[in-house]
Amino acid sequence: MEWGCQNCLMAKLTKEQEYDNDKKHGKGVFKWEDGRKYAGCWKQNKQHGIGIYLSNQNVEKIGYWEEGVRIKWYEEKEIRLLEQQGILDEFRNL
């Protein structure tokens, strides 16, 4: 599968995960054993860019990560804009 995260701002893996030199890179999903899930952009094996975090209580949060560190949670107004642009659909369909 070719890596590419067209709309990105620059445990266990699912089959949808993309790799570059054996590292997660591009769009993909990571699922923890306790039920948590991250679907979004990756760069060199780290969360990087926009992503959707789903807690083990099914609470969804949209955030932005850099080099594996969450920088922020998006507010409702920002989330609506991302949804209007279709960016979140890419990750919800992974």
Is the CB of residue 91 less than 8 Å from the CB of residue 39? yes
pLDDT at 66: 96
Output the tens digit of pLDDT for each of the chain's 94 residues: 233 444 444 344 444 566 667 778 788 898 999 999 999 999 988 999 999 999 999 999 999 999 999 999 999 999 999 999 999 998 888 8
Distance CA 17, CA 78 (A): 26
Angle at 38 between CA 35 and CA 77, to 5 degrees: 120
* pTM, entire model: 0.77
Helix (H) or strand (E) holding 31: strand 26-31
Gap between the terminal Cα atoms of the chain = 13
Would you state the pLDDT for residue 16? 53
- Give CA–CA dist 75/63, Å, rounded: 9
* pLDDT in the model for residue 90: 85
